[in-house]
Amino acid sequence: MKINEIFDNRSTDDLRMGDELPFNEVEDLIIYMKNDPDFYRQSLYPELLNVQNCVQDGKKYNKKNMIPIVDSAVESYLKKYEINRLPEEFLLNSDKKECISKILNDEIENFRNKVY
């Protein structure tokens, strides 16, 4: 359940193509990526392992490696929640970069502490 479904009578079912979504797409996508067991296990977790290996080896991680994962998350998210948007309309490239940066910044201590 999305927070807007509790406080707002307007749901995503009422939206038409081009309408603004009643929530922050980047934040909601990150929550989906971290909390959907299948997506996390199959897509996000393996890449977080790669990030941790780079950090442990003292190398710089290329954030562009996460773009296909974010693209995949967008497609899965839109399908799962039946949001009537094209993936390229849902998240702009700048939003994808923001999403990747937030995920990595949220996990930086876990990478240093070898959690993954």
Domain boundaries, the chain: 21-111
Buried b / exposed e over 65-95, threshold 16 CB at 10 Å, is: ebeebbebbbebbbeeeebebebeebbeeeb
- Is 90 exceeded by the pLDDT of residue 84? no
Residue 41: its pLDDT value, please?
Answer: 97
The pLDDT score that the predictor gives to residue 94 is 95
Residue whose tokens read 């081009």? 18
- Taking only the tens place, the pLDDT of each residue in 13-52 is 555 555 565 578 999 999 999 999 999 999 999 999 999 9
